[in-house]
Amino acid sequence: MPKIPPRESVREHPLYRAAMAAQHAAYQLMRDVPPGAKADATRLVTELVHATTWATALVDPDVPGRDRDAARAALAESAARAKAMLAPLAPLANDAGIVESLEKRIEELGRSEGEEETGLAAAPRAEPVP
């Protein structure tokens, strides 16, 4: 089944770009760590794939407000889990630049809780149906 990329407005959003950059850095880290740590690094990549999904839902203007709120909370949780997963892997990496990049991107994802940072404060929100 082909992958359907999100619309351009989502792809261009800084939060989505940070999520994709985190995924990419985690993949590089997975290739960089010793064989005994690859499974843990793979789980980190998977967590960041989930974070990208939540970031996509968060910045998509067609997502209803209540779903966007749930996505915001889930993204924060994913970022916290990714940060915790990275801690034991960081010392095992041969390339400190990968770790620094990944830490920065995860931090950006974790700060996405405020609407002003995601650029969604002015976005229209769907009203709940009674």
Question: Would you list the DSSP string of the chain?
Answer: ----PPPHHHHTSHHHHHHHHHHHHHHHHHHHS-GGGHHHHHHHHHHHHHHHHHHHHHH-TTS-HHHHHHHHHHHHHHHHHHHHHHHHHGGG-S-HHHHHHHHHHHHHHHTTTSHHHHT-TTS--PPPP-
Is the pLDDT score of 65 beyond 70? yes
The predicted model gives 30-52 an average pLDDT of 96
Single pTM value for the model: 0.81
pLDDT band at 49 (very low <50, low <70, confident <90, very high): very high
- Across the chain, what does the average pLDDT equal? 85
**Joined tokens for residue 105:** 């991107």
Query: For the CA atoms of 111, 122, 51, 22, what is the dihedral angle to 10 degrees?
Result: -60
The predicted model gives 7-31 an average pLDDT of 94
Per the CB < 8 A criterion, the answer to whether 108 and 83 are in contact is no
Provide the terminal-to-terminal Cα distance of the chain, rounded to the nearest Å. Answer: 37
User: Between 115 and 21, whose confidence is greater?
Assistant: 21
The predicted model gives 21-36 an average pLDDT of 95
Is the pLDDT score of 92 beyond 70? yes
Is the pLDDT score of 4 beyond 80? no
